[in-house]
Structure 1
Amino acid sequence: MRNNRIPNGLGVVVALTLLNAACTVPRMVSKTENRSVPASYNGSPDSTNSGKMRWQAFFTDPNLTALIDTALANNQELNMTLQEIQISNNEILARKGEYLPFVTVGGGSGVEKVSRYTSQGAADAVTDIKPGKETPDVLPNSYIGAFASWEVDIWHKLRNARKSAVASYLASIEGRNFQVTNLVAEVANSYYELLALDNQLEIIQRNIEILNNALSIIRQEKEAAKVTELAVRRFEAEVYKTQNLQYDIQQRIVETENRINFLVGRFPQHVQRNSRIFGDLAPAKISAGTPAQLLENRPDIRRAERRLEAAKIDVGVARANFYPSLHLSASLGVMAFNPIYLVNTPASLIGSLIGDLVGPVVNRNAITATYKSANARQIQAVYDYERTVLNAYIEVVNQWSSINNLEKSYSTKNNQVQALTQSTGISLRLFTSARADYMEVLLTQRDVLEARMDLIETRMRQMNAMVNIYRALGGGWNR
């Protein structure tokens, strides 16, 4: 009889050839991230970091803390991020299931007509089901069994895919923490802006009252023929101008309130606050610590680090696609052309065990492209990590400088306001004694209004700088 089998030696050579071809992997282009940061911020040796404070301790205004607490519970965008975290967690479960065996149980029945001119049909033609009973042309079939398949994770491709999913999941948690930090800062900044607008509105309303009193004096002076109608009209115009400022501030108050309402996840309503404390507010003393602490405190840096970790693992997963994969499949059950014979074992038993070793040899463009893309994403993740660290350091330096400069600016503007406030009464007395004209009174009133508005604006910027450096140091997410 003719032997059609491949000689064992030739089979081994073919297998080794296929294995060698499958294991040829393109050269990887990798990049290592730079984790070094300056030793300090502008030479400051302080190691205490205000960013480690819980936001409940950092913000002492009860109205503000209530708003932040509500925002953390109701903010829609934050809650959407929580669902993204759940999706990432589900991805871990899916990846874990890929390297475990798949087992299914099932059964079925049907009929089959096999051609007599096939090997199976010819065999059935000469085989009797029972002595004297031929195999029919149309043969029913029923089966019940268990079926299993398993990809043996030789190169840890599937396990590495799960590790990558875990890193992505941890990155999504850090993303949520970073979002919490930004949300806390945004609510606080909007709250301080609202207090500032309330105080500016109060100043404008008081200034309108002062201008109306001055206008009455100007009208009396006109009746006494000491000034002309021009002076009266100029003062009236100044009153209208200041009233117009009032309406602009009122609109900004509405918009700022509704920005806070949006952040806390509710429809427009009055925002509870005590605006009278704004004049007594002073920025909290901030300790920046060391730049190295940013790597631990900033959630966006830790998120970039987790993404970099996942990108590095993905390169290994993509590399494993070039290697042969081993698939095992097995089945065990019973099958018979008549259901009553299913229990007749071992005659009705069926079973199989198959192992396949498969590797890419020709036309590997798809897996090569996937591998190169994974390399590119890994390099991209390195740059993203370095950019995130650099941005964090610059944010701290900028806000630290802003705090120092705004403190000096507030002191100077406060002196300016005091000087202009004194000059207001002086100019009015000089005018009534005919030693100054109406324009000096008008310009003095205008200057003192602008100076007071600027003073409140500077205080608001101070409070915002305090909030922003707290955020830049990584504060706000740790509850």
Structure 2
Amino acid sequence: MTLAGCSLAPVYKRPPAPVPQAFPVAVTGNPASSPSGEQDLDDWRVYFTDPALSRLIEVALANNRDLRTATLRIQEARALYGIQFAERLPSVDGTASYNRGRTVDPSLGENVVASQYRAALGVSAFELDVFGRVKSLSDAALAEYLASVEAQRAVQISLIAEVASAYVAERALYDQEQLARRTLAARDGIYALTKRRYGAGMSTAIELRTAQMLVDSARASLAALARERTQAASALQLLLGDFAVDLPRATPVLDDLTMTPVAVGLSSDLLIRRPDIREAEQRLKAANANIGAARAAFFPSLRITTEVGSVSDGFSRLFAGGSGVWSFAPQLTLPIFSGGRNRANLDLATVRKDMAIAGYEKTIQTAFREVADALAARDQIDAQLDAQKGVYEADNERMRLAQRRYTSGVATYLELLDAQRSLFESGQELIRLKQLRLTNAITLYRALGGGWQKEGSA
């Protein structure tokens, strides 16, 4: 029993994180109000505060099939761990048998027909885990189970981010559709004016056809945006797992969507709490435990078979006095020659651990890059968005002046045409940057693992 407490698995030690201790801080950043680790952002409701978006996320968490599959994988891993853990305990079985046959009695030279009843309770081939082989396999199964839990949380965080991104994309298409409608209305007005001017001999046929072409082009753009928005809504409903969910039709627009800001300069230690990193570490622990099982295969194994029961030639006398039997059969197996199988298994387990270490480190580096990129882009996107707002306002004023000048006959149609084109393009770019700003905030939420939890609060 003392030997059964031994383990040949290497002592696990978490590899150092191959990244800097802190994220790079943006040069032109304004410190945002944030929990800074004091408030738990693990609850997505703290980050995504829009009521319509919150409702969609709740629907997705209840109905999304990928998340449901990840949850079922937890149950699968839990069952596998239960199976493996049961190998550490003896299996007690009850047996009952009846045997009737004819034999030859050598002393009498006669055939004898005899019956035998047998009832017993015993343990069959129970392995005393002298060198920790079964325990190592059980530890590996436990680590795989814990990895599946982290994988499910990673899928949940990814789902929340994907729903938010799909919702923002659908809202952006809605804004672009409204911009296209305003552009179409403005071009309809210019076309009507050009038609009147053409009838009065003040415009050329080229100007009239150009105005008509611009109206038709705006209609085509509006139809294309309507199609894209319908497809975006279907993609969002697929994430929700329910095509019967009604999506918001008019509000909110991108300007109304807000998300809780997160301060820059967060410690890279937060990445250790990201679920995909914790999943990778659990896979590493499983690989480490498998080395212990591979090492134990080089040493003797001790199995015990024991049985206590009763035997009789008549069923009525099966449990009578004097019919009791018992057996105790320990078996020691010493590996002598296996053709190099045990050595190959140990080499395989060692290589898989090295691969798990490399995968763990790569996961950390990828997570660090994702957070650093999102933090670095945030301030630049805000600055670009502020500048684009100025461009759009200037184009809007330019369009108003060009239309007035054209109506008064001062400006040429080419000037009005250029103002129309510039206003539509700057409006589209403004919507794109608003979408990019929100998408970057969602990316930061996802890169941080949906927020973090203080040690011991999980």
Same fold (TM over 0.5): yes
Kindly report which structure 2 residues correspond to 1:313-324, keeping only aligned pairs within 5 A, or say none: 313-324=289-300
Q: Which residue of the other structure, out of 439, 443, 448, is the alignment partner of 1:464?
A: 439
> How many Å separate the matches in 2 of 1:437 and 1:286?
50
Letter of the 1:41 counterpart: F
SS at match of 1:464: helix
Does the 8 Å contact 1:298/1:474 carry over to 2? yes
1:248 aligns with 2:237: no
Measure, in 1, the Cα distance between the counterparts of 2:79 and 2:245: 38
Moved more, 400-409 or 273-282: 273-282
- Residue 36 of structure 2 corresponds to residue 55 of structure 1: no
- 1:328 equivalent among 301, 304, 322: 304
Q: CA 1:219–1:397 in structure 2 vs 1: closer, same or farther (change >3 Å)?
A: same
Which residue of 41, 53, 56 corresponds with 2:23? Answer: 41
How far apart are 1:337 and its partner, in Å?
A: 3.1
Residue 428 of structure 1: aligned partner: 403
Deviations 1:235-279 (A, max 9, x none): 111111111111111112112222221122112543136534423
Aligned position for 2:277: 301
The structure-2 alpha-carbon separation of the partners of 1:126 and 1:154, relative to structure 1 and needing over 3 Å to count, comes to: same
2:369: which partner in 1? 394
C-alpha distance in 2 between matches for 1:182 and 1:216: 50
Alignment partner for residue 193 of structure 1, among 139, 148, 169? 169
Q: Supply the RMSD in Å over aligned alpha carbons.
A: 2.5
Decide which of 330, 347, 354 is 1:379's aligned counterpart: 354
Tell me how far 1:281 sits from its aligned partner.
Answer: 4.0
Structure 2 residue matching 1:309: 3-state secondary structure:
helix
Please tell me whether the aligned partners of residues 190 and 259 of structure 1 are also in contact (alpha carbons under 8 angstroms): yes
Q: Does structure 1 retain, via aligned residues, the 8 Å contact 2:18–2:364?
A: no
Map 1:275-314 onto structure 2 (within 5 A): 275-281=251-257, 284-314=260-290
Alignment correspondent of 2:390: 415
Task: Note if 1:452 corresponds to 2:427.
Answer: yes
Instruction: Specify the code of the residue in structure 2 equivalent to 1:322.
Output: F
Find out whether 1:106 has 2:95 as its counterpart.
Answer: yes
User: How big is the shift at 1:198?
Assistant: 1.1
- Per the alignment, do residues 269 and 280 of structure 1 end up closer, same or farther by CA in structure 2, a change over 3 Å counting? closer
Give the SS at the match of 1:252.
helix
Query: Given residue 423 of structure 2, which amino acid in structure 1 is its aligned partner?
Result: V
Distance 1:69 1:308 in 2: 33
8 Å CA contact 2:42, 2:452 repeated in 1: no
* Secondary structure of 2:436 counterpart: helix
Give the structure-1-normalised TM-score: 0.85
Query: Residue 69 of structure 1 aligns with which residue?
Result: 58
* Identical pairs, percent: 26
- Alignment partner, residue 15 of structure 1: none
Counterpart Cα distance in 2 of 1:32 and 1:199: 49
Residue matched to 1:350: 325
What one-letter code is carried by the residue in structure 2 that aligns with 1:375? T
Structure index of larger Rg: 1
Q: Is the 8 A contact 1:414 1:455 kept in 2?
A: yes
Unpaired runs of at least 5, structure 2:
1-7
Instruction: Quickly say closer, same or farther: Cα 1:476–1:34, change in 2 above 3 A.
Output: closer
Where do 1:6-17 residues align within 5 Å? none
In structure 2, do the counterparts of structure 1 residues 52 and 181 end up closer, same or farther at CA, with 3 Å as the change threshold? same
Residue equivalent to 1:17: none
Q: How many residues align?
A: 437
* TM-aligned CA distance change 1:155 to 1:369, over 3 Å: same
Q: Structure 1: where are the runs of 5+ without partners?
A: 1-24, 117-123, 128-133
Distance 1:472 1:208 in 2: 40
Structure 1 residues 477 and 192: CA distance shift in structure 2, 3 A: farther
Alpha-carbon shift at residue 38 of structure 1 (Å)? 0.9
Q: Which amino acid aligns with 1:174?
A: E
**Matched letter for residue 97 of structure 2:** G
- 1:403 aligns with one of 349, 372, 378: 378
Task: Tell me the TM-score normalized by structure 2.
Answer: 0.89
Question: What is the CA–CA distance in structure 1 between the aligned matches of 2:271 and 2:111, rounded to whole Å?
Answer: 77
Q: Aligned match of 2:70 in 72, 81, 87?
A: 81
- Displacement of 1:329 in angstroms is 0.3
Q: Cα distance, 1:321 vs. partner?
A: 1.2
Q: CA deviation at 1:359?
A: 2.1
Matching residue's letter, 2:207? A
In structure 1, what is the Cα distance between the partners aligned to 2:385 and 2:359? 38
What residue number does 2:4 align with?
none
SS in 1 for 2:331: strand
